[in-house]
């Protein structure tokens, strides 16, 4: 049966590789070549909207650098010079590599030698003439930015003009406990945002949905207040990226999650824009 890539199909195994997988990204607006450092489905957070089946608590396993190099080199050549787009029935307007995105099935910065992995991907993509014309993105919850390897990884990303998409689904400790099942303190959040923005271009990536008290009026106000505080502290974000759920969660709360309506997201985006921030919205 012919496989098709769509914005609702982010199957990590669709290309039959361990570390590399293609997706059609709503936010990127085309083909995103994903890198998965967490094939063991392990993460230090448990977000209620997470689409990873059999998610477990933990870190990424040791990385096979030789296999990563082989897979990424092969796949970039396949997309650029092979029949990838035809085989996977990619729509004509999506037949361009928009970015290489380190994301996957858990927190990518938990992998050992994270900085070396970033450097290797940058070298391979540059040699394949994918960078710098495409974007280089790290999608992370930012929780490990106190570690030297994570900071070195961001510096390597910056050398390739890459950017960090820093997950922030609530501006309050209670909200992050509810949505992300993390005990991250407000102080740590702000410290890590300061580190991130000091090392690399950083965007906030925020999932908006309805679940219990998530995204109540008070939660929205707390988010706006945090953005004001970050401005006052000269913690400069490149953009605020709002989106809602589009694919099936495999977490116990899945049945209770409600997609946020575009009108509500647009109204909140307008409030953020009024503070002077650049905002994008993906429904």
Segment 94-142, tens digit of pLDDT = 888 999 999 989 999 999 999 999 999 999 999 999 999 999 999 999 9
**Integer Cα distance of 35 and 211 in angstroms:** 30
Global pTM reads 0.93
What was the pLDDT predicted at 26?
A: 65
Contact 196, 167 (CB under 8 A): no
Domain coordinates of the chain in residue numbers?
Answer: 20-282
The Cα–Cα gap between 206 and 184 comes to: 16
d(C-alpha 57, C-alpha 44), whole Å: 5
Over residues 59-97, the pLDDT tens digits come to: 999 999 999 999 999 999 999 999 999 988 888 888 889
Which CATH number is 20-282 given?
A: 3.20.20.70
- Round to whole Å and give the CA distance between 259 and 177: 19
DSSP-derived pairing of the beta strands 209-210 and 163-167 = unpaired
Instruction: Kindly indicate the confidence band of residue 9, based on its pLDDT and cuts at 50, 70 and 90.
Output: very low
| Per-residue confidence (pLDDT) for residue 133, from 0 to 100 | 94
**Percentage of the chain with pLDDT > 90?**
86
**Segment 41-55 mean pLDDT:** 96
How confident is the model at residue 13, as a pLDDT? Answer: 57
Residue 172 pLDDT > 60, yes or no?
yes
The yes-or-no verdict on residue 10 having pLDDT over 70 is no
Does residue 1 register a pLDDT over 50? no
Q: What is the mean pLDDT of residues 196-223?
A: 97
Phi-psi region of 9 (alpha: psi -120 to 50; beta: other; left: phi over 0): beta
Torsion of CA 266, 272, 277, 283, to 10 degrees: -30
How many residues would you count in the chain?
283
Residue 74 confidence (pLDDT): 95
């Amino acid at each position: 049966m012919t496989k098709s890539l769509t914005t609702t199909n982010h199957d990590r195994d669709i290309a039959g590789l361990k570390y590399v997988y293609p997706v059609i990204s709503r936010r990127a607006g085309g083909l995103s070549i994903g890198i998965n450092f967490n094939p063991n489905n392990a993460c230090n957070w448990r977000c209620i909207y997470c689409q990873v089946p059999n998610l477990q608590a933990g870190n990424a396993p040791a990385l096979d650098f030789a296999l990563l190099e082989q897979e990424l080199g092969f796949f970039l050549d396949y997309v650029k010079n092979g029949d990838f787009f035809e085989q996977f029935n990619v729509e004509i307007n999506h037949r361009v590599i928009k970015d290489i995105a380190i994301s996957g099935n858990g927190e990518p910065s938990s992998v050992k030698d994270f900085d070396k992995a970033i450097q290797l991907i940058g070298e391979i993509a540059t040699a394949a003439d994918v960078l710098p014309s495409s974007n280089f993105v790290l999608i992370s919850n930012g929780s490990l930015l106190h570690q030297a390897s994570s900071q070195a990884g961001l510096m390597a990303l910056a050398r390739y003009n890459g950017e960090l998409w820093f997950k922030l689904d609530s501006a309050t400790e209670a909200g992050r406990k509810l949505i992300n099942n993390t005990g991250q303190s407000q102080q740590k959040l702000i410290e890590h945002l300061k580190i991130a923005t000091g090392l690399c271009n950083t965007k906030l990536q925020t999932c908006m949905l309805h679940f219990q008290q998530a995204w109540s009026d008070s939660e929205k106000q707390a988010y706006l207040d945090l953005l004001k505080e970050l401005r006052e502290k000269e913690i400069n974000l490149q953009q605020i990226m709002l989106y809602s759920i589009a694919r099936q969660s495999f977490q116990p709360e899945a049945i209770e999650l409600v997609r946020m309506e575009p009108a509500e997201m647009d109204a909140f985006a307008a409030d953020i824009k009024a503070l002077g921030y650049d905002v994008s919205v993906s429904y």
